[in-house]
Structure 1
């Protein structure tokens, strides 16, 4: 980060006044699993392929890099005057409300301390919940040979789980929107194994598990292990490093970006 900060444009020098779209900083949780960061980078590549004029970086809160100061510093060093911050989370939980804003504030403070140009920052809504995520989950199941609308299929939506009641309610609503699918959690009860056993006890012979995980990591692997042990098919996480992100996810990222930047422009005009 030190070498990068030395390249930041100074406040005195300023930046070119050419009108350009805000840059996009996507902030993920992070994982020690290398597939996690690789999947997020794959998503960024797909987004910038759809919008080549958009400068985008991915930063992580913990466990892998680049961190948020490094990712934001890269955007500022490239000349970004304004940045939209997109939390790569599937619900409005604690990370979205507290950790992401705190990490961005800390990054801005580092840039300011080095005398760099501090960009205008606006925050996007997190990725979830959104109907496009359900479409992406549906696509992952179909890739695994599962037809989610089959009335003979007992369906489970597996997610990480959360101690945040509001975030948990949003995840439970996703399952309800799928015609009353059951919920299972990697870090809480009912676990995937328990949810599968309950469906079978209610008479469902065919059961499948949809993955409400954004990217690979320890928790989705835990769910996958339960599915393998029970002989139940499992949809892959929404983004993986070995396949192209779904068009629904790219559309969702760009929709979140557009909403935030339009709202920011409206506020600036009204000021």
Structure 2
């Protein structure tokens, strides 16, 4: 019988130093993961990465951090190879990386378009590709997208548009990797109460988002709390293995498809 528990597993988290990625790392360590590799992008995140590494180790798991810009295929390939060189295997791969741009369609520059697709789409594509090459049989793969994929809204053409291809990457990979028992999922949180959210929004937009979900009144901030995403990640990389090829929007009734 296949063991789908988290206990004893090797985990790689793209964007795993802080915010949701950092909380996922801490939670999976608490669930008994053997080792967790966290990726982070820049020197600005070094301190957060160090704190997350310390928390993982305090929970009893081994831990290592890798700094890398994942917008090239070579960088993603090296990340997976480095993790395997250190831990010998990868059982669970989770990619939380991304960047928001909120801007009128007619003002988006070519450089901004290229950046959005490099960070949000290209990096995700090659992360999924390398996971298919390196994950152990019966592994788990999860990519973070956005609930904006179910929204009818202006100003997010480049951001949501760059996240949208991941839905098909997820479906295709689930069919191709399924023969090895690997499940592939995407999770789309609603607007989350993290530093990732606020810089892109004005005061009026923040006020709207804090009341837009059906369950906003029962949230501490009205937004999606990253703590509320954790149980779904934990489930998908363990007992929820039978869910594959799906994009699941988790947003308290903010929007649906």
User: TM-score normalised to the size of structure 1?
Assistant: 0.37
User: TM-score normalised to the size of structure 2?
Assistant: 0.39
- Name the structure with the higher helix share: 2
Bigger relative contact order (CA 8 A; separation at least 6): 1
